Amino acid sequence: MQLVSINQRVENIKHNEEEINRFVEEYKPFIAACAERSIGRYLRYGEDDELSIALMAFVEAVKSYNADKGNFLSFAQNVIKRRLIDYYRKEKKHSHVVSLNGFTKEDDEEEIDLSIGESIDKFSEEVRSEYRRLELEELKKELGKWDISFMELVDASPKHNSTKKVYSDIIKYLLSQSELVRLMKQKKYLPIAEIEKNTGISRKKIERARKYIIAVVIIMTEDYQYIGEYVNLFNN
């Protein structure tokens, strides 16, 4: 069975209710983390309306997702946020009181909606960590296609500035050649001869950097938004 990214998986299952249900079950911790940090308190499935709303919003995100919407997890986050805002708008109309992260007062609708939006936007490091964990799982699967493990990446990471400069030059070259990157991913190989010819970097150095280069190129060209924050190779 071919392993696919989260984005591809969602597009593949969006019309399959059974697969959607399985996907939702798998991502319940992520859904709960988004809702809990938005509300500012612990939530329990089967007891709190906010989690029911978050679950429905996640399903809505799956069914309406396409590649034009970017990273699926970010898209799902926004859908959950909008549905929670809708929920609190309805609560305000019924009770004239909105409570979110300690906000409990009567006010005009625009000001209350703004407070809700700002509160939901303040995702904590805990939620960001959940995003990174999910992305790391996907990256592990992707690198498995290349027979690359995380431990090997640690060993292959450049330790000196001169080495970082070499790796950076190789990666910058590859990122400037979209067709070459496409073939690289399709055929699962690093085009060493092409890199050597166009960068002047020796074959030995390129081969030594192979696993690290492949991993960084994948991170930089796929949907790894949060892992990508830690790829600071170009900032050296």
Residues 3-34: pLDDT tens digits?
A: 457 888 899 999 999 999 999 998 888 888 87
Tokens of 140: 């592990």
Q: Where are the alpha helices (DSSP H) in the chain?
A: 6-13, 17-26, 28-39, 49-64, 72-95, 109-121, 125-144, 150-156, 161-175, 178-187, 192-199, 203-208, 210-221
Residues 199-218: pLDDT tens digits?
A: 999 999 999 999 999 999 99
Most confident segment among 49-58, 74-83, 108-117: 49-58
What was the pLDDT predicted at 203? 94
Q: Is the pLDDT of residue 137 over 70?
A: yes
Q: In angstroms, rounded to a whole number, what is the distance separating the alpha carbons of residues 133 and 77?
A: 16
pTM of the model as a whole: 0.52
Residues 37-78: pLDDT tens digits?
A: 667 677 788 888 888 999 999 999 999 998 888 888 888 888
Q: Is the pLDDT of residue 151 over 60?
A: yes
Q: Which residues pair with 104 in a beta bridge?
A: 99
Residues 163-203: pLDDT tens digits?
A: 889 999 999 999 999 899 999 999 999 999 999 999 999 99
CB neighbours of residue 176 within 10 Å: 10
Q: Is the pLDDT of residue 112 over 60?
A: no
Sign (positive/negative) of CA torsion 130, 7, 235, 188? positive
Q: In angstroms, rounded to a whole number, what is the distance separating the alpha carbons of residues 46 and 52?
A: 8
What DSSP designation does 157 have? S
Q: What are the sequence ranges of the domains in the chain?
A: 6-123, 139-235
What was the pLDDT predicted at 192? 94
What was the pLDDT predicted at 98? 40
What was the pLDDT predicted at 139? 86
Q: For the chain, how many residues are written?
A: 236
